[in-house]
Amino acid sequence: MVTWASVVPDLDGLGIVAERLTQNSRHPLTWWSDYHHVLGHNLGFAIVVATLAAIIAKQRTKVTLLVLFSFHLHLLGDLIGARGPDGDQWPIPYLLPFSKQAELTWTGQWALNTWPNVVVTTLLIAIAVLLARRRGYSPLELFSAKADVAVVGALRARFPVSAIK
Ligand SMILES: [Zn+2]
């Protein structure tokens, strides 16, 4: 739930499928342009996600707090390093649906496809691989237990746990 909370704000970007499929039609849909960084990137959606976590989680307080943290970590990542392909900063209307006043931006924001994001992504993947080898599970377990077992097995076969400690 904590991991999913870190990506769930971008559900509002799924409108890109409809937008691209209808871009040359008579009635193009602009769901990505209109709703990305709007519907899922705000306090109201954070409360919805945290409430769902609180209902579902067995360790209610711990998981709910971590869900709120990871959700906001996503917003922070967008704020500092997700400038759009057209140069738009994609302001984050953080207080929606309670207020339209706060639109968060940062003047130092870098573009999504620039080197800081490559460096951070590479480092985090390396850490995930090291942790997967050591702990015996990887982020793949979110999608497939079988794939997770295969990847961890391959990592441990190539880099035995006892050999690297
Ligand atoms: Zn986002």
Query: What separation in Å is there between the alpha carbon of 13 and the centre of ligand 1?
Result: 8
Query: What separation in Å is there between the alpha carbon of 37 and the centre of ligand 1?
Result: 6
pLDDT single digits (tens) 108-149? 999 988 999 999 999 999 999 999 999 999 989 988 999 999
Amino acid at 143: F
CB neighbour list of residue 114: distance below 8 Å, 6 or more residues apart: 81
Q: Which residues surround ligand 1, an ion (CB under 5 A)?
A: 9-10, 78
pTM of the model: 0.82
Query: What separation in Å is there between the alpha carbon of 128 and the centre of ligand 1?
Result: 21
pLDDT for 50 beyond 70: yes
Residue 104 bridge partners (DSSP):
92
Which among 50, 52, 101, 41 has a CA at the least distance from the CA of 77?
41
